[in-house]
Structure 1
Amino acid sequence: MPSRRRLLVGLSGTAVALTGTYATLGATNAERLEWPMVRYDPAGTGSNPDAAGPKDGVEVAWQRDTDSSMYGQTAPILVGETLYAVGQQSLVAFDRETGEIRFVRDGQYWSSPARAAAKAYRRDTLAVNGREGIYGLSAGGGYEVFGRSIGTERWHSHGRESQRWTSSSPREPSPVAANGSVYAVVPDSDRVVALDASSGRIRWEQTVGEPRSIGSNRPAVRDGTVYVSSRPGDVVAFDAETGDRRWSVRPEPHADSALEYRNFSPPTVTDAGLVVPDREGVVLLDRTDGSVRWEYVHDGNAPDGSAAVADGTVFVTDGEESLHAIDLENGTREWTAEYSPDTDPVVADGVVYLGYQISELVAIDAETGDRRWTYEGSTYFTQPIVGDGVMYVLADEGLLALEEAS
């Protein structure tokens, strides 16, 4: 049976053809909403203001498994009519409408890809962190000849053999693409690099804070500045073109904290400042000098999540019992909703969506904190992404497309 959404699309397509406006429909399809990198944009907001997903109930539009295991912790991305997902041993491209697999390319990739415009090629570049460095892959997949990939890998930067167990799940900070450059954290390091999206040429490379091996988070990029936070408690701003250090700060731990330094999560750049979650709360830093504008303490234990920002509100989990909605301007609490895992919220059309490694996928009203629906059709979920009324999420059973329940 076709899903309700595909039936409506078919009926509308017939009506358009009958009225002689097929060209208009084609133009609309060409402008369909995308989710080109993890957390949606270079700023890391986790929010597409034009997107929409299932609001009042959810059902499966399609589900597609693969021959190779897709178990991991990386979110899919959506570019044009193609969804890309990274599993344990491969990059897989799916058709947006049907879920049909377009290609599978083997590789030791360890993050979500980021779509980057590449002047030297007809197709975009997919930048992805791997076991042995940072890769630039063809969004078209290249070719497969006698079981070998040809033309998939365009460039490889900072290659070195990883000491990790080869069966581990993918987990590295995902690259960020902006203005023809790829900004990425070198795997297992405290260094951030800017690479040419076409050639992989190193434009600049810098260390985050003082040299140490604990590692850094996904960068956030906006208005010519790259912001990077680290787990040892540093936040640094670099010039996006030159790599020059604009400022570097190490905010003191919260007043009642027993920690020696803040365990920072990835930052989010906003008009109001730089939102940086940590294990016990959230801090807003001034974008010009890194000074603290406000602090919010939730006294939780959140070492792994990130913040989503939409319509003047910051959404962050505390890792123990709640999702918090915080006013972006003054750092006051708007509401809390019952939700225990520490994860990465995304927001679309007034709804906060949360997925986690186990248990459930949840939709919460962004204005009130009321739970709209819960989906428990799988034992594992990654961070979801949202498009034209449809949510896409990687689960233990493969890639799922979820639409409004009929």
Structure 2
Amino acid sequence: MTLVPPFGDDTRTGQYRVSGVDDHPRIAWRAATTTPVDISPLLIGDHLVALDRTGTVTCWNARTGELRWSVSRAGRPRRLDGVPAAGLAAFGELLFVMDEPQAEHLVVRSLRTGEILDGLGPVPNGFPTVVSEELLIHGFRSPDEDVLLSLPDLTERWRVTLDQRRNWTHPAVDRATGIAYGARQFEPHHVHGGVGAFDLATGKAVLIVNEVPEQEECPECGEGASSGVISQRHPVVVDGLVWVTMSVAGHCDTEGEAQAIIVGVNPANGRLEKTWRSPLSSDAFITGTDDSVTAANGRLFFLDYDEASSASVLTSVGITSMSTLWNRPLPGTTVGPAVVAQDTVYLATSTGTLTAVDEATGDIRWTLETGESITWPDLGDWGEAGEIDPAVIPADRMLYLRTSTGILAVTSE
């Protein structure tokens, strides 16, 4: 049974190996949930599974929208430092759901029925990521513990205690080396954030990048060095480099403004090999940029916010040249990172405008007003509870949009 992984594949590039919807979009079906859907739904064969804010898990027929089952979790939703923390992963006909808030368990449910499977769940709590035939759980028995379990029998492969906890995001995996790259948590005066790499075979840490080397002159005065904070969003592995977004400010900056940059980190030594700087400034110095970078077909796609127009701007950057290929102002403020299917980039705004952009030229191919709003999850003061998932999930001849009222499916006429 084919699973469409979060952010497209294990490298988390945001590129999906599906057709998407090229032209003449129309709404195929709508389905309601109890509360907003803040994380991307999972497409598993012809099943579409979503987890809403209250922890209710719902499964529909992905083509028709017919309800297959819906199960609620008892008690109050589990919260992390006052922030809802939810995770959803799948392997074959197994669903792994952060559930049972009082017992703090990761529950294993049947994809066919939604029932908890005897002998497999619950297991200790944590944020689940399926990588090939293994289940990685972050925060297994404590926030600083990771464990890797074989699937489908959940046999423990290894367990490690981290020197600094990772953020609640899916790590990016370099298949060629077996190394996984995860975002580390950031909090001023406590921990620096950054990227932590570990060997999937052993759990052993192999690389930690905490901050930007102080190698650039201050853009304001031409003296001193810039300082930067690596975003807590997931890294992306492509073309031999690990790509992250950052916020950088000059040493003499006093108003908290910063510029967003994209950097390519050499996984062998942690050094910055490539850099691209956004022409827009923002007040995002503390939290970093809102979204991860998207990579597809030799290009990077980055979303920034233009305060002058109060709208998002999509930029394409060439990976080889690190030069700007095009900029596309968008009709509003987007939610979540861009996603790519074939030669089209898809985005959605907070007011429900779905937009398809030509990957090569930046021209808008079509827009669709869905009439649905899309909410941002509360990630906490410093973004320690995860990241903003894509609002749009592409599939073959379909798009799925998570909304404040449930799920909306789009197809072509």
Shorter-chain TM-score range: 0.7 to 0.9
Would you say 1:141 and 2:141 are equivalent positions?
A: no
Alignment correspondent of 1:11: none
How is 1:141-220 mapped onto 2 (pairs within 5 angstroms)?
A: 141-143=113-115, 150-151=116-117, 154-159=120-125, 175-186=128-139, 189=143, 191-206=145-160, 210-211=163-164, 215=167, 217-220=169-172
Is the 8 Å Cα contact of residues 91 and 104 (structure 1) preserved in structure 2? yes
Alignment correspondent of 1:401: 409
- Count of aligned positions: 343
| Partners of 2:373 and 2:22 in 1: CA distance | 21
- The TM-score, its normalising length taken from structure 1, stands at 0.75
User: How far does the alpha carbon of each residue in 1:76-95 deviate from its partner, in whole angstroms, 9 at most, with x for none?
Assistant: 11111111111123111100
Alignment correspondent of 1:73: 38
State the 1:59 CA deviation.
0.8
Alignment correspondent of 2:386: none
Picking from 317, 329, 332, the partner of 1:338 is 329
Counterpart residue identity of residue 262, structure 1: I
Distance 1:211 1:182, change over 3 A: same
| Partners of 1:245 and 1:194 in 2: CA distance | 14
Distance 1:403 1:237, change over 3 A: same
| Partners of 1:360 and 1:334 in 2: CA distance | 24
State the 1:352 CA deviation.
0.6
Picking from 49, 52, 62, the partner of 2:19 is 52
State the 1:216 CA deviation.
5.1
State the 1:64 CA deviation.
2.1
| Partners of 1:352 and 1:323 in 2: CA distance | 10
Alignment correspondent of 1:264: 232
Picking from 198, 201, 208, the partner of 1:248 is 208
State the 1:226 CA deviation.
1.1
Corresponding residue SS for 1:274 = strand
Is the 8 Å Cα contact of residues 231 and 263 (structure 1) preserved in structure 2? no
Distance 1:325 1:128, change over 3 A: farther
State the 1:222 CA deviation.
2.4
Distance 1:253 1:363, change over 3 A: farther
Which structure's residues are more often strand, by fraction?
A: 2
| Partners of 1:234 and 1:347 in 2: CA distance | 26
Picking from 33, 36, 39, the partner of 2:7 is 39
Alignment correspondent of 2:387: none
State the 1:342 CA deviation.
5.7
| Partners of 1:236 and 1:152 in 2: CA distance | 35
How is 1:360-379 mapped onto 2 (pairs within 5 angstroms)?
A: 360-379=353-372
Where does structure 1 lack aligned partners over 5 or more consecutive residues?
1-29, 118-123, 144-149, 161-173
Alignment correspondent of 2:348: 355
Counterpart residue identity of residue 46, structure 2: E
Moved over 6 A (4+): none
| Partners of 1:135 and 1:314 in 2: CA distance | 36
Is the 8 Å Cα contact of residues 93 and 102 (structure 1) preserved in structure 2? yes
State the 1:393 CA deviation.
1.4
Which structure's residues are more often helix, by fraction?
A: 1
User: How far does the alpha carbon of each residue in 1:376-403 deviate from its partner, in whole angstroms, 9 at most, with x for none?
Assistant: 2233236211111111112234321101
Alignment correspondent of 1:327: 318
Would you say 1:125 and 2:90 are equivalent positions?
A: no
Q: Quote the sequence identity (%).
A: 24
Would you say 1:222 and 2:208 are equivalent positions?
A: no
State the 1:304 CA deviation.
2.7
Is the 8 Å Cα contact of residues 325 and 334 (structure 1) preserved in structure 2? yes
Is the 8 Å Cα contact of residues 76 and 384 (structure 1) preserved in structure 2? no
Task: Between 287-296 and 195-204, report the one with greater CA deviation.
Answer: 195-204
Task: Between 340-349 and 299-308, report the one with greater CA deviation.
Answer: 299-308
Task: Between 185-194 and 175-184, report the one with greater CA deviation.
Answer: 185-194
